[in-house]
Structure formats: C-alpha cells, structure tokens
Amino acid sequence: MPLPAARTPLAEIDPAPALGALDGRYRGAVAPLVDHLSEAALNRARLHVEVEWLIHLVTEQVVQGAPSLSEPEQEALRDLVVDFDAATIEELRAIEAETVHDVKAIEYFLRRRLAEILGAGESDGSSAGTEGVAPARTEALAELVHFACTSEDVNNTSYALMVQGAITQVWLPKAQALVDQLAGMARDLAEMPLLAHTHGQPATPTTMGKELAVLTHRLTRQLRRVEGAAYLGKLNGATGTYGAHVEAVPGADWERVSRTFVEHLGLEWNPLTTQIESHDWQAELYADVARFNRILHNLATDMWTYISMGYFAQVRGQGTVGSSTMPHKVNPIRFENAEANLEVSNALLDVLASTLVTSRLQRDLTDSSMQRNIGTALGHSLLALDNVSRGLAGLDAVPAAMAADLDANWEVLAEPIQSVMRALAARGVEGMTNPYERLKELTRGRRIGQADLVEFVRGLGLPEQEEERLVALTPATYVGLAPRLVEHLGDA
C-alpha cells in the first residue's frame, strides 16, 4: 500500500520540520555555523558592509561637501549590526517581498534606520541648525547609502567575512581540537607494537602511535594551509572599472578608497576583477578543506578496520544500541557516520571550487546560488569532526589483540634477516649469498614460528654478534624507530 497523504501537510506545521539533516537531526552539532553562513547571517554581513561603507565615505570625506556623522551616530549605525535579531529578519523579508532584490532590501532598511538615528539626534539637540536642516542632512546622507555600488560589491565582501568567520571561529578550532586529541593518542601509544598490513597482508611491524602520528601529521599540514588562507574582497563597481565612481566624484582616489575600505573590513584587496570578485581564494580554501576531509576519511576507515581487528575496544560513552536484534554488538557508528558526512562535504566543496572560478564574460549568476551551499558543505565537515572526536573518545587500545597478531606472524622477520645477510655480503662475509631467495623458500606461503626461525638463523653461519641479535628479535620488538618518530608531531 502506498504511503497515505497526511491530513495536515508537514510543511504547514509550525515550526516546519527541517528538510535537510543539518537543520534537523544534526542541528546541535552544526549550530555555530548559523551565525556565519545562514541566510540571516548573509543579510547581517551585508548590513555591516553597507554601514561601514557609509561611514568610510563620510569619515574619509570622499564626497566633498557631504554631511558628516557624529561618533554617537556612527555607533548607533553599527549597533544595527550588533542588534540584528528576529524583528530585523522579518522586516527585511517584508522589504524584499516588495523589492524582489535582497541587496536592495538592505539598502532600503538602512535608509529607514538612518532617518530614525539622525532624527533622534536632532530631537536631542545634538545637531545644531535652523528648521529644515535635519531633513536635508538626512536626505543627503541617505544618498551615500550603497553609493556607486553594484550588489556584488556588497555580496563579495559579505561572503568573504562570513566564510572567514566560519573557518576561523568555528571550523578551525574544532579541527584543531580533533588533531590535538589524535596527537595525544599517538603519544600515548607511541611504543605499542602493531603488526602492519600492506595490501591487507602482514608486513613489517610498527607501533599504533606511529601510525596515528602519520595521520596527525598529514591533518596538521592541511590545517596550516587553511590557517594561511587569504580572504579577498573588491569594491569597484559594475564591471570593475570604477566607472560610476569616477564620473560622480572625479577628484577622489577611488583605488585608495576601495583598498582602504576592503582592508578596514579585515580582507585582502583584489585590484583586478570583473563585476564579481573572482572567487579564486574560495576555490583554494575549499580544496584545502576537502583535502583535510579526505585525510580524515582515511583516519575513519583505518580506525573502523582496527576496531574490526580487535585492536581497539569501544568501551567508553557507548550507551547506544549497536543492533536492534543482536544485543552483543557495539557498532563503530561514529566513524561510519563521519565517512558519509565527509563524502557529502567533499562533493559540495569540489563543485564549489570548480564552479566558482568561472563567470561568463563580466558576470553571470551561477555563483549566487552556488555560494548558498557553503554552509552545507562546511556543516557536513563539522559534523564529521564531531563524529570522529566522539568515536576516538570511546576507544581503548587492546594490547593483547595486537600482541597475538604479532606472535602469529613470525615470518615478518624474514625482512631483517635477509637485510642483515645483504649487509654482511656487501662487507665480503662468505656464505651470505642469495639471502632473499633463501628467506623466500622458508617463509612464502606458509606460517612459521619462533623455533623455525631460530633454527634457520642458527644454520646461516652468521657472525656471532649478528646471530645472537637476530635470534633475540621478535615481531613485537622489530619496530625500528617507530616510537621515536612520533616526536616529529611538532614539525608540521
């Protein structure tokens, strides 16, 4: 029987159920991004840019003869951004319903508030003058709201500020905390012997700490790249020529005005653009985040595998139902969920990076819709970080399981034995020829134990020192410099 229609459509329920998982099931893990990458955050950033542009024009006296703004008036304008709330969101929605243009709605909203602020100042007696001066001043300053701007002048700087805030205030701290957590595990397990598996087959032993350190080091390198990201902005008009600017105020140094404004916002000035800022910096950033995600995905699959091999037990904070029918199970769901979210994140980051760098001739609108997915892309990455962190926090190493696998694979010592024989042969010691072939005959396709290996070594005719050293070697002690290599964690 098909699913019956609901008497009340779910979309009509107030509040309406979320369409996407990030705004529904996983809201708690990604909520900090709402302050930076939601539609409301975009309008708040736009208002900030418009306010700062107005103040910049006035304080720099770009338009000679235009009225000034007092310090209290500037503070009141900036408070519009600080006090941005539900009422502001609703008012902007109502204005946009009339303008059918989101940036124009911000302009009209700011003009309203500017009139209120200047009117309040006049009524308080803070602006001297005869009757009629205040309305004229208000009208004059209102004309400097969104002055000589194309919508993209406001949008590109707004998105740069939003992404900058989301990365530096939310994503990077969460990612760094996870890397620190992983580094702590690597140091704790630096000397824990582990049978390596190359191509899924038993291989030269290592330590669990060294393997975790490798992943930590890789993730750290990507964090350094993300930390060094540039956030670019431009303000140069409809086709990047300052055409309207120069005609309106020929005497102004518009490049200087633009650069100082963009830098005042905390961004890097882009001097050469079309109507849009080229978004290359976004593509670079998203590629770095995506690469971090892919390494994190590698960590998740490795931890899942170690758990399945019994090298880690899921014991802490696991008050979950592993299976609805098998009571004994504790599933590695944190790592599985992380894999899925990293894949969704990277699909979006990849399409953002590949799409945003292209705009037909001087402008097309593909970037407008595309950039609205930045929050979703980073949201799934943030959710994955949360999953991996919680997954790692619930693990305990199981040394006995690792030791059992090492003890069952004495054949891995064929490598050091034949390497010692090669070194001796190179020094002219007789009887050391064809070491690889001799060890292959002993070990390939069969399991051997300690007794088999000792008997083989004793029969090689090795110098006494080398013979005793190899006889004493075990899979658990054949870890080379692995414990010491963990110390390189601070090098990235």
Active site positions, annotated? 199, 323
Query: Letter for the amino acid at 188?
Result: D
Is residue 96 within 8 Å of residue 105, measured between CB atoms? yes
Return d(Cα 111, Cα 142) in angstroms, integer: 6
The CA distance from 81 to 252, in Å, is: 28
**3-state SS string over the chain?**
CCCCCCCCCHHHCCCCCCCCCCCCCCHHHHHHHHHHHCHHHHHHHHHHHHHHHHHHHHHCCCCCCCCCCCHHHHHHHHHHHHCCCHHHHHHHHHHHHHHCCHHHHHHHHHHHHHHHHHHHHHHCCCCCCCCCHHHHHHHHHHCCCCCCCCHHHHHHHHHHHHHHHHHHHHHHHHHHHHHHHHHHHHHHCCCCEEEEEECCEEEEEEEHHHHHHHHHHHHHHHHHHHHCCCCEECCCCCCCCCHHHHHHCCCCCHHHHHHHHHHHCCCEECCCCCCCCCCHHHHHHHHHHHHHHHHHHHHHHHHHHHHHCCCEEECCCCCCCCCCCCCCCCCCHHHHHHHHHHHHHHHHHHHHHHHHCCCCCCCCCHHHHHHCCHHHHHHHHHHHHHHHHHHHHCEEECHHHHHHHHHCCHHHHHHHHHHHHHHHHHCCCCCCCCHHHHHHHHHCCCCCCHHHHHHHHHCCCCCHHHHHHHHHCCCCCCCCCHHHHHHHHHHC
Q: How many CB atoms lie within 10 A of CB 61?
A: 11
Tokens linked to 310: 């019994």
Q: How far apart are CA 273 and CA 246, in angstroms?
A: 17
- The answer for 279, left when phi > 0, alpha when psi is -120 to 50, beta otherwise, is left
What number of residues does the chain have?
Answer: 492
